[in-house]
Amino acid sequence: MVKKVVVKAVGGFEQLQVEKDGPPPEPLPDQVTVEVKACALNFYDIYIRQGLSPDTQPPCTLGLECAGVVVAVGEEVDTVKPGDHVAVHCPKGGACAEMITVGVDSVLVVPPEMSFDVAASFTVTYLTAYFTVFHMGGLREGGSVLIHSAAGGVGWAATQLAKTVPQVTVFGTASQHKHQAIKDNGVDFPIHYDQDYETEVLRQRPQGVSLVLDNLSGADFTKSQNLLEPLGKVVLIGARSMVGKEQRSLWQVFKVWWDTKNVTPYSLVMNNHSIAGFNLNELRNKDPANFNRGWKKILEMITAKKLQPRIDSVWKFENIIEASKQISERKNIGKVIIKP
């Protein structure tokens, strides 16, 4: 029997449970079976539990990413072999299980000396940061970026990637007790949540910033646009403001939707601003070649020590509720890992 973490239904933490099921199916010709050693949680897992994901609805197995050892391959697979250590991306969920069978395009071979915790941690957050900072955000030498939730998984990754560009200034929001950590990671101007980040950014940089990574939406989407310098861009990567407490609040969802004001072509033209949106799962679905190039690039940068994923904490499957609270209560700095 194989253990897995499941979301039984839309609801609170009580919907997170560990179940035992039969083994995964034998791999088809283009598939591989992986013995999972570590799984990473993401804020998106909360969207799924609260029924806010357009792609995956409960009941389902949790998890967008994991790492482990290949134990079987299909007859047409020649890029991966049994014994290889791999990072695994599961865009529809299902990663949080002792054993999984996935398409060979869902795995990336990693060096055997890389820990499974790190191998499980970088796919979703670092790829999101990579494409939004460079491909969509176009961050250049001498530019500046505001990163919301700079201590979270994407924020941590985006800070490191931004700092690979010479003379870039990074503003980052985080709880006060996380400020030293995000400064050590590269944030030049940490801003805590009791401050008005719009005022604080403009005090340091009156012309505004080159790029805002907005994971909040709602009224903050308008504030993000107000912070742009000419030729600046907002990249929308989430709607964190929709997630309040343990249970989904339809009022909160409606309020954020209502407060996310429409953008007019006239305002964009007259202000020389750009607005973009990013979804990693859709990128992989529609442009897998670009996704894979980015995946390999991030692995290269981690292997070369240019990027350093941070593991916040490690939990067992049986402690999934406590592990999930670490993210939903905004306690984490970096990635939360769970293990079978």
pLDDT score for 248: 56
Q: Which of 70-74, 147-151, 215-219, 286-290 has the lowest mean pLDDT?
A: 215-219
pLDDT, tens only, 189-220: 999 998 999 999 999 999 999 999 998 877 88
Q: Which of 13-17, 167-171, 172-176, 245-249 has the lowest mean pLDDT?
A: 245-249
pLDDT score for 335: 97
Q: Compute φ and ψ for 34, nearest 5 degrees.
A: -120, 130
Reading the block at residue 284, the tokens are 């992989």
pLDDT score for 254: 54
pLDDT, tens only, 230-253: 999 999 997 655 555 555 555 455
pLDDT score for 252: 56
Reading the block at residue 292, the tokens are 């894979």
Look up the pTM and report it: 0.93
Catalogue all structural domains in the chain, each as residue range(s) with its CATH number: 2-122+309-339 (3.90.180.10), 124-281 (3.40.50.720)
Residues paired with 327 in a beta bridge? none
pLDDT, tens only, 105-129: 999 999 999 999 999 999 999 999 9
- Exposure string for 85-109, b = 16+ CB within 10 A, e = fewer: bbbbbbbebbbbbbbbbbebebbbb
What percent of the chain shows pLDDT beyond 90?
A: 79
Peptide bond into 59 cis (omega under 30): yes
How many Cβ atoms sit within 10 Å of the Cβ of residue 31? 21
Q: Mean pLDDT score of the chain, rounded to an integer?
A: 92
pLDDT, tens only, 288-310: 999 999 999 999 999 999 999 99
What percent of the chain shows pLDDT beyond 70?
A: 93
pLDDT score for 294: 98
Distance (Å, whole) CA 279 – CA 321: 26
